[in-house]
Structure 1
Amino acid sequence: MTTRSQGKDIKMAHSKSLYSFRMAQKAEMIALCALINSVYRGDAAKDGWTTEADLLGGQRCDVAMLEKLSDKPDSGFLVATKEDEIIACCHVQLATATVAECGMLSVTPAWQNQGIAKALLRTAEQYSRETWQATRMRLWIIKQRPELAEYYQRRGYRLTGATLPFPDDVRYGIPRVNGLYLLALEKVIAPAA
């Protein structure tokens, strides 16, 4: 398994697989937007277990939002590819001097339940540790997605008690239920110095 960072392929220490990882290029934001929206929203998303379609209508993201995230310092999108086709992605960014964040973890429904999300998450952790010397990884999930909290907890993440209101902005989706808010989970990804 490899990841491309600044034009180079880097071997990832944790796995041998049939797919590879690299940082997305700006020209790929349209494809990433389509992938993320297909995983989280609409009827097509209901084919996968990560759907939020029952909780939120509208889009999960738009191209301008992804481009803005991609342009920020210490921020980018990791993609998993199989024979040059993007099959999964996630956004990673340095949130504080020691904490990285991972979000929008998306695997095409046809590729779900094959370990790709787990490998992508490990790659995001390794990338954050090696690139930014992050010691913790933070995730934000919708409280009403207990199966997602359980998935991340099986991967070593713990609820922190921190919460945020769900964004009041249609660019992130239109709530279909009341009381949506976000929960933070964190995991130690590097030994303390």
Structure 2
Amino acid sequence: MAEVTIRIATRDDLPALHPVIERAYRGETARGGWTHEADLIDGARTDIPTLTAIVDDPTQCLLVALRDGTTIGCVQVSDRGQGLAYLGLLCIDPTLQAGGYGKLLVTAAEQLARDTFGAAAMEMTVIDVRRKLIEFYERRGYRVSGEKRDFPIALDPPLFMDVLVKQLA
């Protein structure tokens, strides 16, 4: 594995990061990896204003991963209060998936949640039909809580999210 730097993203990172997110989640290029939503959802995953709002929000951090100076992925950590953090927007460029970079980002996100937000637990939501992705998180110590949430976009047929939780302490 090539050397990877993981750090808190700034607004200056967003023009390079946004296309990586889109390639990882949606469209034909996403099919080159194993974590995509391309078979379930059309359209953009996010946009620069949404990413800017995350970067500017003191209750959230966006970590960016760079390999040899090139942006390869990210993960979002949000403080939910009362010792709970939320992990979202984890992605690695599809051409580099299965190379261990996602694991590095998850570990960095958990450390940030503990150190910055004082979190004792981390939760996330995963589309319930994405079994391979849920299994990836289970191997990292996350457990399906049994709680389901509606997918944030109305679709026909509807999608639902499994809530996964990990104790960080």
Q: Give the unaligned 5+ runs of structure 2.
A: none
Please show how residues 80-159 of structure 1 align to structure 2 within 5 Å: 80-159=65-144
Quick check: 1:179 aligned with 2:158? yes
Quick check: 1:29 aligned with 2:8? no
Deviations 1:95-147 (A, max 9, x none): 12201111110001121111110111001001111111110011111111111
Counterparts of 1:179 and 1:25, CA distance in 2: 34
Question: What number of residue pairs does the alignment pair up?
Answer: 169
SS at match of 2:15: helix
Matching residue within 153, 159, 165 for 1:168 = 153
SS at match of 2:161: strand
Please show how residues 9-20 of structure 1 align to structure 2 within 5 Å: 18-20=3-5
Q: Is the 8 A contact 2:7 2:63 kept in 1?
A: yes
**Which of 70-79 and 49-58 deviates more?**
70-79
Counterparts of 1:20 and 1:184, CA distance in 2: 29
Counterparts of 2:83 and 2:66, CA distance in 1: 29
Cα shift at 1:60: 0.8
Q: Give the unaligned 5+ runs of structure 1.
A: 1-15, 170-174
Identity %: 36
Quick check: 1:73 aligned with 2:63? no
| Max Rg structure | 1
